[in-house]
């Protein structure tokens, strides 16, 4: 089992519905591969914070199965292929049902498992079911009016994807159960010794060090959101968010740039469901239909925003499957011909019309990509000298969480200013994020961060198609570091929370502490110590801004304060933009870095770039690191959460009658036999797994 839930789980449904009835084994393996190390940076693939959440998800799944008379076959310290060998020592396998994968490492694991199944001999087969997305892959051709292969291409934009898919239906929850109303409940598990099923391992048993175990414990105490894994908790959070607090009316989401103050926004502006979606504890279709049910009585803007987040997941999943493939991991990105075997390593104007023209970025092939571990180390440890970046990276390191707005900010800083191989940063996110999702994480880096490299118009002679060239600057190019810091953390409360040494500074200086070195700043005293005049050496009271003897200005920052500020007493690793490059934007009214047009009208960089962009934002449903009222969910709330699942989609106990509600008007479409998925072929004579 991959998605760690029982509701709306097609492999589970198919296994229990296939005729004739055979015993069913539910299997989950903690493969050591996922606790190993990444390819480039050699970071642990699954950090201890996410590892603990994973264990909690599996424990909850096992409990849910046991209440329905089922068991969960658990193994760790071995591959799924090796666990299959142990399984066949006790039972004979007829069919294995699983969710299909699209990312390269997952596909490799799937292929190894299928090869192990083939080597068993006999007629055992592997049936791949399509999951993860809001829209089913079998419905795309009929819903969109043309095969997905014809319109899902490497350069497809999110806006175009939404226009194509809006006519495609979303299936009911657990459609497999609903069109067979008298299912007879679940099949019985095989009659084997109880000890054979196995137990949920500990973090230590999975190979985590003592230091990593301490990190996992500290993360729970530092995080304002007490994340606990499992389907039961996911359903309870969904029920509380939509129905108890009716919080859809407050939902803004992390992808709405127009809503300021995100770092200090109320909790209910985001749903905090992204870890549960990432681990498959919550079906996106159940979330979608609950939103639709809420809108029948109370329409609100937040409903569209949350559904938009689900569409981002669909967009990345389908484009990786149909168009990107392994190109998603290429240095030049999946939309660049340089990532194709035989493609141009150096772009030519006549062939490689800039693939980023929707976003206004320059071609990654024209940039010099370093593998500078010193730069990466400062970025990852939160010691760049830019407090807004550092606070976000410290939050990620210590809690496994980062606001999506901050993911954008630190991503653009890493690519534009550090000009270091972006895949190192993507791997760091993979290691640290609690809600890590392969297609969302790598897709966002490749599609959203890499395609907005600073650009200038092509001034080379020779004509040809419009092209853009890299724009370099000795100063900070990721202006979101300063602009979004002011917009979304105006009081600097977020920065001060994670960087205690800046806690006594005014908001502006906490965000930009290098200004403390400017001699003409008129600052409040930073300590209770007397200060010595640099002109006449007179010792003055700390409340004096000027010397009592010669009227000289008090030094901007005493040596004691400089020591207390640590790295923030020095210039950051990238020089901030000079004050004369800042101005009042004629479009949005914000004070930011930018430049003037030919008509001498000043625009900030964001508005300047937006002219050439499709309106896109980072996908995924984000989390908010703020205190959560009623954060710990009680048993009654968990029970209420399970009540959201339609009766027809609930997996009843062994031998119970299936539900009759929500029967489909017509059965799901049948895939062609021998196709990639083959999940709709009802000619199987045996079932189980």
Identify the DSSP state of 96.
Answer: E
Per DSSP, the residues of 565-577 read HGGGGS--SSPPP
* Contact by Cβ (8 Å): 302, 293: no
- Residues 165/167/170/176 CA torsion (nearest 10 deg): -100
Q: What tokens appear for 59 in the block? A: 């424990």
Count helices and strands in the chain by DSSP H and E runs? 24, 11
Residues flagged as binding site for FAD? 251, 270-274, 435-437
Place of tokens 């799924």: 80
Read off the tokens for 164: 């194509």
Rounded-to-integer distance, Cα 486 and Cα 480, Å: 9
Contact 420, 376 (CB under 8 A): yes
Residues tagged in the binding site annotation:
251, 270-274, 435-437
Contact 126, 81 (CB under 8 A): no
HEC assignment per residue over 347-368 = CCCCCCCCCCCCCCCCCHHHCC
In 3-state terms, what secondary structure has residue 633?
coil
Neighbours of 315 (CB within 10 A): 26
Distance CA 262, CA 283 (A): 27
Which residues, listed in sequence order, are joined to residue 546 by a DSSP beta bridge? Answer: 553
- In the 8-state DSSP scheme, what is residue 461? S
What b-and-e string marks burial along 3-32, b requiring 16 or more CB atoms within 10 Å of the CB? bbbbbbbbbbbbbbbbeeebbbbbbbbbbe
CA distance 8 to 429: 29
Peptide linkage before 20 cis (omega within 30 of 0): yes
Query: DSSP H helical segments within 400-492, as ranges?
Result: 404-412, 422-432, 438-444, 480-488
Tokens of 448: 């959203």
Per DSSP bridges, beta strands 125-129 and 95-99 are parallel
Structure tokens, 326: 């392994």
How far is Cα 406 from Cα 410, in angstroms, rounded to an integer? 6
Distance CA 516, CA 505 (A): 10
Structure tokens at 38: 């990444």
**CB proximity list for 321: less than 8 A, separation 6 or greater:** 102, 137
- The CA radius of gyration of the chain, in Å to the nearest whole number, is 28
């Amino acid at each position: 089992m991959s998605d760690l839930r029982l509701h709306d789980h097609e492999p589970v449904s198919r296994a229990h519905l296939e005729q004739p009835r055979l015993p069913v084994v539910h299997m989950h393996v903690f493969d050591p591969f996922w606790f190993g190390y990444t390819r480039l940076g050699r970071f642990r693939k699954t950090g201890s914070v996410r590892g603990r959440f994973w264990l909690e998800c599996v424990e909850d799944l096992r409990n849910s199965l046991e209440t329905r008379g089922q068991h969960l076959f658990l193994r760790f310290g071995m591959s799924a292929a090796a666990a299959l060998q142990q399984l066949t020592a006790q039972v004979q396998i007829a069919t294995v049902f699983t969710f299909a994968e699209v990312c390269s490492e997952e596909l490799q694991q799937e292929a190894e498992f299928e090869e192990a199944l083939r080597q068993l001999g006999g007629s055992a087969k592997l049936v791949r079911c399509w999951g993860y997305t809001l829209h089913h892959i079998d419905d795309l051709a009929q819903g969109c009016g043309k095969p997905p292969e014809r319109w899902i291409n490497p350069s497809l934009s999110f806006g175009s994807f939404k226009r194509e898919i809006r006519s495609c239906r979303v299936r009911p929850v657990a459609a497999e159960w609903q069109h067979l109303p008298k299912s007879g409940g679940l099949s019985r598990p095989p009659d084997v010794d109880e000890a054979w099923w196995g137990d949920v391992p500990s973090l230590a048993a999975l190979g985590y060090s003592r230091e990593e175990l301490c990190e996992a414990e500290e993360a729970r105490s530092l995080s304002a959101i007490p994340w606990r894994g499992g389907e039961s908790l996911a359903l309870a959070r969904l029920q509380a968010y939509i129905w108890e607090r009716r919080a859809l009316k407050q939902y803004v989401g992390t992808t709405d740039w127009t809503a300021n103050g995100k770092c200090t926004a109320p909790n209910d502006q985001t749903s905090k469901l992204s870890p549960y979606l990432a681990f498959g504890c919550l079906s996106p279709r159940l979330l979608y239909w609950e939103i639709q049910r809420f809108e029948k009585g109370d329409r609100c803007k937040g409903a569209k925003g949350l559904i938009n987040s689900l569409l981002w997941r669909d967009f990345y999943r389908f484009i990786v499957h149909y168009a990107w493939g392994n190109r998603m991991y290429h240095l030049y990105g999946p939309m660049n011909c340089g990532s194709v075997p035989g493609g141009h390593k150096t772009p030519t104007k006549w062939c490689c019309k800039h693939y980023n023209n929707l976003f206004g970025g320059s071609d990654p092939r024209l940039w010099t990509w370093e593998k500078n571990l010193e730069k990466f180390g400062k970025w990852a440890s939160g010691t760049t000298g830019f407090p807004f970046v550092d606070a976000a990276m410290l939050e990620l390191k210590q809690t496994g969480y980062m606001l999506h707005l901050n993911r954008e900010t630190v991503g653009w800083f890493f690519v534009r200013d550090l000009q270091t191989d972006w895949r190192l940063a993507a791997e760091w996110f993979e290691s640290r994020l609690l809600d890590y999702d392969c297609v969302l994480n790598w897709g966002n880096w490749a599609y959203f961060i890499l395609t907005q490299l600073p650009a200038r118009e092509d001034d080379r002679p020779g004509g040809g198609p419009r092209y853009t060239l890299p724009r370099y600057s000795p100063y900070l190019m990721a202006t979101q570091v300063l602009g979004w810091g002011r917009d979304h953390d105006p009081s600097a409360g977020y920065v001060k929370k994670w960087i205690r040494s800046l806690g006594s500074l005014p908001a502006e200086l906490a965000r930009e502490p290098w200004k403390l070195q400017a001699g003409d700043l008129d600052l409040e005293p930073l300590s209770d110590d007397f200060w010595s005049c640099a002109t006449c050496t007179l010792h003055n009271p700390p409340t004096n801004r000027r010397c009592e003897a010669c009227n000289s200005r008090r030094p901007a920052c005493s040596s004691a304060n400089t020591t207390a500020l640590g790295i923030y007493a020095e210039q950051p690793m990238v020089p901030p933009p000079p004050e004369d490059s800042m101005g009042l934007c004629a479009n949005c009214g914000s004070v930011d870095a930018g430049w003037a047009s030919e008509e001498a009208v000043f625009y900030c960089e964001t508005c300047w770039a937006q002219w050439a962009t499709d309106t896109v934002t980072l996908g995924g449903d984000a989390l908010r690191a703020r205190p959560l009222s009623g954060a710990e969910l009680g048993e009654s709330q968990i029970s209420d959460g399970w009540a959201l699942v339609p009766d027809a989609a609930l997996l009843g106990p062994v031998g119970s009658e299936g539900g009759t509600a929500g029967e489909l008007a017509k059965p799901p479409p049948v895939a062609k036999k021998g196709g990639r998925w083959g999940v709709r072929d009802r000619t199987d004579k045996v079932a189980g797994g």
